[in-house]
Amino acid sequence: MNTVETEQHLLALKVMRLTRPTLVGFGPIVTCEPKDLPQSFNRVVENDGIARTCAEALGAGQTMLLPQSFGNIYLGETFSSYICVHNCTTHPVEGVTVKVDLQSNTSRINLLMHENKKTSVVLSPEETLDDVIRYEVKEIGTHILVCEVNYTTPAGFAQSLRKFFKFQVLKPLDVKTKFYNAEMDEIYLEATIQNVTTGPFCLEKVELDSSEQYTVTSLNTLPNGESVFTAKNMLQPNNSCVFLYCIKPKADIAKDIKALREANNVGKLDIVWRSNFGEEGRLQTSQLQRLPFEYKDLRLEVIDAENIVKIGSIFTFQCRVTNTAEHAMKLHVSLETKVSADCAYTGSADFLLDTLRPGEVKEFPLSICPTKLGLVKISPLLLTDTLKNEQYYINKVVDVFVVDADYHQDGTFLLNKLIRYENPIESLMQKQVQLQVV
Amino acid sequence: MTNNPKGLSEYFANDPPSFFDELTNPKPREPQSEPEVNKPKTNMLASTFTGRYQPPEYVETADDAEEPIKVNDEVRNLWPSPAEQGKTGTGAPTHLVMPGLHIANDLGYGRSGQPAKHSPHSLQLWFTRLALLAKLGEYELLQAEAEPFGQLNALDVFYEFYPEMYSGKQGSIASFSFRLLLSEMPIYLGKPHLALDNLSKLHVISSEIKQHYEKSRNGNASEFWQRRSERVLHSIINCALMMKKYSMIDDIMGGMLLTRSSLSKEEQRSLYSAWGRIYLQIGDIFGAEQKFAVARRLREINTAPDLRDLVDKGLIAVANNDFPEAYLIFQKALHLDSGNTMILNNMGVCLLYAGKLKDAINLYERAINLNPQKSLNESLLVNLSTLYELESNNSKVKKLNLLRLINRFKPDLNISVEICLKLQATN
C-alpha cells in the first residue's frame, strides 16, 4: 500500500489489510534424546500448551500470527481491512465521520463502517473509532482505497484527513475448455483450471451449472463417491487440473433437431477455491458455447453398445441413422474389414435399408468379432445414398474395449459412454474462457 | 595417530572450570530424597575437580527414567563409520580445528586453532553449544561453528579411531541428535532443499540400522531406531512445509509415520491433528476436518473434548471466517488450561478480525501482566506490536514499555527484538 501522508491532524487514521492469519510454531525445533544432555531442550515446548507427544518435532504450529504484509489480492476474493481512527489529542474531538471508498478503473464503491451506528461521533482522548470493512473484488487491475475522516476542531473549523492505499487485483486462475460432441447427443466438456497465483490453493468446488436446455453429469468422482483426484484438490502454482462433464440435452430438446441446433449455451462453470488458511475466492465463467452439431445430411448414432467385450465373442451394437437432409434417401450400409494383420476385428456387413424420408429414423444392428486385446476402433462405415449416389464415410463408428476371456468386471471399471469424435481437429481446439465474479 | 594417551590427559588436566560445568551440573538435591548423589560421580564438575587427572567423561542424566526405550550404548552409538563405507581413500582423517572462540578457549585452553581430538565429552559440549545457538536463533554463528564438523562423517568422531582410548568400543561418539541438528541446520538458513538431502541420507541409514536389528530379532533396538528414523521424518516434513511440497507430506504422514503399530492413541491424535493443520494452511478445510475427526475419534470414549479438540475446532472456525465463533471456542479451551499463552494469543487475533481492536490489546496486556515469563513470547509480541501500530501513533511508547518487560523477564527470545517489536516500522 502506498500512503500519502498529510499535515498534522488531531486524529490519526490507521489502515491494515486483514489477510488470513498464519499458523506458526514456537521457534526453531531442536530436540535431543534424554541421554544426550543433562537437561532436555524440550521444556520450551510446554509453552505451546498441548503436550506434543510424538508430533513434537512437527512444525505445524497452532499459534496464529497477524498478517505482516499487504500480500496479494485476487479477483473473486474478499478484500477486508481494519480502519482505525484514533484521537491523539488530550481533548475530545467532535463531529467525526469516516468515509471509505474503493475506487477501481470503472467504479467507485462506498464501504460502510458500523452500519448500525449514527453518522457522526465524538471521540474522547485516546478513544478510537474502528471497524472492519469487507468487499469482494470484482475487477482486475488497480484499485485505490480512499479513506476520508472529517471532524470539527475545537475552534469549530471543519477538517478533513484523507489517505489513499493503492493495490493491484490479480488474476487467480486460467480456465480453458474443450468440447467433444459424442453419440446420442451427448457433449463432453473438459475444463482445465490452472492456478496462476503465487501460492498453492485448493479447489473446493468446480461445478458446471447447466443452462435450461441441458442436464449435466459431473464425471469427477469415483463410484465410491471420492474425487478422482488424489487426496485433495490442491493445486500448486502453475499446475492445472482437468475436470470432465457430460452434458445432455433435455428430452424435449433432444427430439427437436432444430431446437438442438439453436441451444448453444450449455452452462457456466462455478469455481470456489480456498488458499492460505481458508481465504476464499469464487468466480464464474461466462456462458460456455458448445460446438455446433455438424449433421449435414444424415446423422449416425450408436444407441446401444457394450463398453467391454471378451475376445472371441461377438460384439453387436445398435445403430440409428437419421435423415437430416431435405430429401428422401435409400441407404446402403457397408462395413468393410480390411484384410490385414493390423485389423483388430473381423466381420463385415453389406445391406440396404428401406427408404428414409426427411427426418425419419432407422435402426439396425451391426456385429463384429474382435481379434485383438485393447481398445478396438470400429471404422470405417460407408453409407451410400443410392438415390443420389452420395457416399458418407463415418470414420469413427464406435470403440470397444476388448479384454481377455478370464476378465471379471469390477466396480472400478466403470467406463463412460463410447465417444465418436466428428471433427477431431476442430473440436480439440481449446478455448480461453472469460471469468467474472458472481 | 601419533598422540598418546598421556598427551591427551595433559590436555584435559589443564581444563579450567568453565561456564559449561555449571550448565551440566545437575540441580542440587536434598541428600535424603535423592540417595544416588552419594554414589561416586564421574562428572567433570568444577567442584569435584581436585587436580588429579580424571578421564574426560560424558555427562549423563542422573535420571534416565524419561527414556521410553532403554537400550545399551552399543545400540545407541551404532553408525556406519566412514572406514566401513570404504571412504578411507582420502588418506588420514583430518583432525578438527576447533572453531569459535569461547568454547575453544575453554576446551583447548589457549590452543584455539590447533588440532584437537574428540571425546564423548567434547562432542557433547559442542552439541550443547550448537543446539543452544539454534534455539537462540543465532543461525549465522551456528553455521560458522558447525562448518568444521561437516555431517560428522570424519573418522575421528568414531570410537574405532581411538583404539588406545576406548579399546574395543565401536560406533559414533557424536550423538544422533548432533547428526540431526547438523542435517537440519540448512532449514534455519533458508535452504530446506539442502537439509532435505542431508535428512534423506540420515533416514536411509537409520532405517537400515533398524532393519539390521529387526533381522537379528532385537526388538527393543529396532524399536529404538524406528523412533529415530521417525524423528528424521518429522524434520523432513518440516522441510517439505517450507518447500510447500504438500503431497510429500501426505505420503510421509499416511504412508510412514502413522503405520507403526506401537503408536499410542495420544501419539496418533497429535499426528492427525498436525496433519489437519497442514491441510488448513493450504485451504483444504474439508481435508482438515477429516483429519481432526480422526483425532477426535481416537480420544477416550465418553470424555469431554480436550484442549486439542477445542483448538482444532477453533482453527476450523477461523478458516471458515467465523472469528466470533472461533473466539468462543478458544475461550472454552482457556477454561481447560487458564493462562495458556497460545490460546490467549489466538483469542486476541480473533478479537481483531471481529473488529474489537481495543479488546484484543487489553487481552494481551492482561496476559502479560498475569504471566510475563510465559506470555512474552515471539508471536504474542509480534501480534501486540502490530495492534499497537494499528491503534495509534503512540506505538513507540508502548513498544518501549514492552522492551523493558522483555529485558526483565525474557532476555533470550529466539527472534531478534527488532523483529518481535517491529522496531523498523515507521511509526
Residues B363-379 have pLDDT tens digits of: 999 999 998 888 888 88
Distance of CA B331 to the CA centre of its chain: 30
Q: B91 to chain A nearest CA, in Å?
A: 31
If you average pLDDT over residues A90-115, what whole number do you get? 88
Quick one: which H or E segment has residue A186? Answer: none
Rounded to an integer, the average pLDDT of B22-36 is: 43
Per residue in A395-414, is it b (16+ CB within 10 Å) or e — as a string?
A: ebbbbbbbbeeeeeeeeeee
Question: Over 80: is that where the pLDDT of B249 sits?
Answer: yes
Determine the pLDDT at residue B381: 92
**Residue B30 clears pLDDT 70, i.e. is over it:** no
Bigger pLDDT: A90 vs A50:
A90
Q: Which residues of A touch B66 (CB under 8 A)?
A: 34, 40
What pLDDT does B11 receive? Answer: 47
Using the predicted structure, report yes or no on whether residue A385 has a pLDDT greater than 70: yes
Q: Is A132 within 8 Å of A80 (Cβ atoms)?
A: yes
Query: What's the mean pLDDT in A387-413?
Result: 73
What confidence category does residue B52 fall into, taking pLDDT thresholds of 50, 70 and 90?
very low
For A133, the 3-state DSSP assignment is strand
Predicted pLDDT at A391:
83
Q: Where are the domains of chain A?
A: 11-20+67-170, 22-65, 173-293+428-436, 298-417
Q: What's the pLDDT score for residue A388?
A: 83
Short-list A388, A397, A390, CA closest to A317: A397
Cell of A131: 471497524
Q: Kindly list the domain boundaries of chain B, sorted by start residue.
A: 1-189, 264-334, 339-427
Burial A121-154 (b: 16+ CB within 10 A, else e): bebeeebbbbbbbebebbebeebbbbbebbbbee
pLDDT greater than 80 at residue B20: no
Q: How far is CA B335 from CA A239, B192, B315, in A?
A: 44, 39, 17
Q: How far is A408 from chain B (nearest CA, A)?
A: 30
Q: How far apart are CA B96 and CA B79, in angstroms?
A: 19
Q: Which comes out higher in pLDDT, residue B24 or B393?
A: B393
Residue B45: the pLDDT is: 42
Cβ atoms within 10 Å, residue A112? 13
> Quick check: A30 and B181 CB within 8 A?
yes
Considering the domain A298-417 in this protein, what is its CATH number? 2.60.40.10
Give the max Cα distance, chain A.
105
Whether A298-417 and A11-20+67-170 are alike in CATH topology: the answer is yes
Q: CB distance A21–B382 less than 8 Å?
A: no
- The pLDDT tens digits of the residues spanning B124-160 come to 888 888 988 888 888 999 998 888 888 888 888 888 8
Query: By CB neighbour count within 10 A (0-12 exposed, 13-18 middle, 19+ buried), where does B317 fall?
Result: buried
Asked if A131's CB is within 8 angstroms of B355's CB, the reply is yes
Residues of B in contact with A86 (CB under 8 A): 391-393
Compare CB distances from B341 to A28, A37, A47 and report the shortest one's residue: A47
Q: Which of A242, A260, A241, A259 is nearest to A186 (CA)?
A: A260
Contact A204/B59, CB-based, under 8 Å? no
* pLDDT given at position A117: 64
**CA-to-CA distance for B293 and A21, rounded, in angstroms?**
23
Q: How far is CA A57 from CA A45, A54, A86, B214, B228, in A?
A: 9, 7, 43, 25, 12
Give the chain B residue whose CA is nearest to the CA of A128.
B391
Q: Could you please state the CATH topology (level 3) that the domain comprising B339-427 is classified under.
A: 1.25.40
B200 Cβ under 8 Å from any chain A Cβ: no
% chain A with pLDDT above 70 = 82
* Closest chain B residue to the Cα of A15, Cα to Cα: B390
Q: How far is A438 from chain B (nearest CA, A)?
A: 19
Lowest-pLDDT choice from A63-72, A296-305, B84-93, B151-160:
B84-93
In angstroms, the separation between the Cα of residue A4 and the nearest Cα of chain B is 14
Q: A270: helix, coil or strand?
A: strand
Between A221 and A293, residue with greater pLDDT: A221
* Smallest CA–CA distance from A237 into chain B, residue: B244
* pLDDT above 90 as % of chain A: 25
**Cα A215 to Cα A219: distance, rounded to the nearest angstrom:** 13
The rounded mean pLDDT for chain A is 80
Confidence of residue A253 (pLDDT cuts 50, 70, 90): confident
Q: For residues B118 and B163, what is the distance between their CA atoms, to the nearest angstrom?
A: 13
Altogether, the residues listed in chain B come to a count of: 427
A·B CB contacts under 8 A: 247
Does A37 or A235 have the greater pLDDT score? A235
Is residue A404's pLDDT more than 70? yes
Partner-chain contact A82 B390, CB within 8 Å: yes
B258 touches chain A (CB under 8 A): no
Residues of B with Cβ-Cβ distance to A129 under 8 angstroms: none
**What letter does residue A290 receive in the DSSP assignment?**
P
Q: B409 at the A interface (CB within 8 A)?
A: no
pLDDT greater than 80 at residue A86: yes
Contact B283 A204 (CB under 8 A): yes
Phi, psi of A109 (to 5 degrees): -110, 135
Q: B152, B243, B281, B352: which to substitute to probe chain A, counting the most A Cβ within 10 Å? A: B281
A172-186, B137-151, B384-398, range with the lowest pLDDT: A172-186
Examine the pLDDT at B21 and tell me if it is beyond 70. Answer: no
Q: How far is A274 from chain B (nearest CA, A)?
A: 5
Q: Which of residues 140-169 of B touch A (CB under 8 A)?
A: none
Give chain B positions within 8 Å (CB) of A123: none
| pLDDT of the residue at A170 | 94
**What's the CATH fold of domain A173-293+428-436?**
Immunoglobulin-like (2.60.40)
Do A60 and B241 count as a contact with CB atoms less than 8 A apart?
yes
Rounded distance between C-alpha atoms, residue A335 and residue A378, angstroms: 9
Out of A27, A56, A86, the one facing B391 most closely (by C-beta) is: A86
Q: Which residues 73-112 on chain B approach chain A with CB closer than 8 angstroms?
A: 76
Chain B residues touching A277 at Cβ < 8 A: 280-281, 283, 318-319
Considering only residues 38 to 77 of chain B, which have any Cβ-Cβ distance to chain A shorter than 8 Å?
59-62, 64, 66-67, 76
Tell me the pLDDT of chain B averaged across its residues: 78
Which of B60, B284, B357 minimises the CB distance to A232? B284
**Which CATH architecture describes the domain A11-20+67-170?**
Sandwich (2.60)
Q: To which residue does cell 571425546 refer?
A: B119
Mind telling me how many Å the CA of B90 is from chain A's nearest CA? 31
End-to-end CA distance of chain A: 27
Farthest-apart Cα atoms in chain B, separation: 73
d(CA A376, CA A398) in angstroms, rounded, equals: 9
pTM of the full structure: 0.75
Rounded CA-CA distance B21/B28 in Å is: 14
Residues of chain B neighbouring A195 (CB-CB closer than 8 A):
none
Q: Closest approach of chain A CAs to the CA of B64, in angstroms?
A: 7
